[in-house]
Amino acid sequence: MGKILKSTASVVAGLALAFTSTIASGLPASAAEGCNVTFDTYKTIQKGSTGDQAKAVECLLDQAGFTATVDGKITAAEAQQIAKFRKSVGLDVVTAVGRRGWSALIAQGDTPTLKAGDTGADVSRLQLAVRAGGFTKMPTTGTLDAASVAALKSAQKERNLTQSGTADAKTWKLLQSGKLVIKNTAKKAKPKKSGSSSKGTRALAFAKKQLGEKYRYGAAGPNRWDCSGLTQKAWKSVGVSLPHNTRAQWKKGKKVSKSDLKKGDLVFFYSGISHVAVYAGNGKVIHAPRPGKKVSYIKMKYMPYKGARRPG
């Protein structure tokens, strides 16, 4: 009888262990587990994107608990899941994965303290999340070696953290919310001779880098903006001076029709010309909206259009 009871107890214990293992295997320590997310550079992924990087985003979404079919093609429904993920971590709600989205998706999961010399999957996840944030000198070796520590210190410096080279709770928090990213990777160089259209494209590129940063009345950077401060600095980045005032900017450059808008053009809204934005193409603009909001995309049709100018 004793042998039977011992045998029964062993079976129950074995089933319990198997059940516990099954549960644990369904709860990955990181969203990146099982996903191929190692790339030299990270592209912007949105509706219609295809290929390995689109598949990586789908995999990361799925592992993070969002609905996605891992087939390498971003559908409209999956683009909405991207927006839901971004909202869940405090990013601006858009249907695309850029530098901030990549870094936040890869970083999801446990937040262990990692120091120089540590190795393993968590170190790889840390390295990839930092690299996706624009710190391209970060290795992807799975070892927190000297080069990795230096890259992590650069990332910490970018956000005014203690430059310890250790992945602590504050570092992980910023990574998982998409806020440990490099703000400006463009090398300063003398621009080639080009027309206003090319300058406009580069002014738009500057505005894109400020997406997700907060509005502050009277601010013109480096990480707080009002509407005319953002447009002023966007065009200053390509060598064109504009006043820090919406109605004063209305008087600069060449007037353009709505049908002839090009990327980077200044678009003005509301009676009295009280709001200005940067044209982003496809009927959308990037703007710094109002207190409590962040620099974001918006469709022009949602604001009363008053006209547009092309600086340069």
Instruction: Round the CA-based radius of gyration of the chain to a whole number and report it.
Output: 24
Which residues fall within 8 angstroms of residue 21, CB to CB, at 6 or more apart?
A: none
Residue 276 contacts residue 227 (beta carbons within 8 Å):
yes
What is d(CA 308, CA 130) in angstroms, rounded to the nearest whole number? 39
Active site residues: 227, 275, 287
Number of Cβ within 10 Å of residue 108's Cβ equals 26
What is d(CA 235, CA 243) in angstroms, rounded to the nearest whole number? 11
